[in-house]
Amino acid sequence: AQSVAQPEDQVNVAEGNPLTVKCTYSVSGNPYLFWYVQYPNRGLQFLLKYITGDNLVKGSYGFEAEFNKSQTSFHLKKPSALVSDSALYFCAVRDEDYGQNFVFGPGTRLSVLP
Amino acid sequence: DVKVTQSSRYLVKRTGEKVFLECVQDMDHENMFWYRQDPGLGLRLIYFSYDVKMKEKGDIPEGYSVSREKKERFSLILESASTNQTSMYLCASSKRSSGNEQFFGPGTRLTVL
């Protein structure tokens, strides 16, 4: 079975500071990992993904994420937060051996304070 | 750009009504998905489809059914709406190949009174 945890319901950071949104996962096979962002009353927008290769993945809007196999983590990071980054962030995993379905984490609400 | 559209942004229905939520994608994706989103629970998969006329149950299929008569269209049906089905419903699509991300529609916020 596959599962995703986002240990923080809420993350607060000051504008200009680095931000991290945490994600850990559990799969039986090789993981495909994704980050999505959701702005109020909108659908989810794809940010970045890890499939294979370099553990540091760069995505949209200056975000990046680091795949750590030994810690089964895929934390989302940005060097300098913007107020406009305030949104709900979802981590998702797909197990290579488990078909086409994703499992989503519960979401982390990011607030960037001016 | 991939576009996934949903028939309504907001919908209000009464208990016991039959409700249809429509989703259309324009990128010839094989896979389509219906999720519901509730605060603190993230996204939960209701049904998905890998091909026309094909459907598979997700994690919470009870009280729902689906229809996929054409590749671009995936409908979610609430046979007899209940108040506990008040939620945000999200449709998504993806290519069948490994590692492809899902593309989401804007969502339908359904309220059942």
Phi/psi zone of residue A47: left (φ > 0), alpha (ψ -120 to 50 degrees), beta? alpha
Burial (0-12, 13-18, 19+ Cβ within 10 Å), A46: middle
Please tell me which residue of chain A has the smallest CA distance to B10.
Answer: A41
Percent above pLDDT 70 for chain A? 96
Checking if the pLDDT of A10 tops 70, the result is: yes
Task: Sort out which chain A residues have CB atoms less than 8 A from B41's CB and list them.
Answer: 106
User: How does the average pLDDT of chain A come out, rounded?
Assistant: 92
Looking at CA atoms only, how far is residue A90 from chain B in angstroms?
8
pLDDT at B33: 95
Higher pLDDT: B17 or A29? It is B17
User: What single-letter DSSP state applies at residue A105?
Assistant: -
Instruction: Nearest by CB to B106, from A34, A43, A101: name it.
Output: A43
Give the tens place of pLDDT for each residue, A50-106.
998 899 999 999 999 999 999 999 999 999 999 999 999 999 998 777 667 789 999
Q: How many CB pairs under 8 A join A and B?
A: 53
Give the tens place of pLDDT for each residue, B51-100.
999 999 998 999 999 999 999 999 999 999 999 999 999 999 998 876 78
pLDDT-derived band at B1, boundaries 50, 70, 90: low
Mutate which: A42, A98, A100, vs B, most B CBs within 10 A? A100
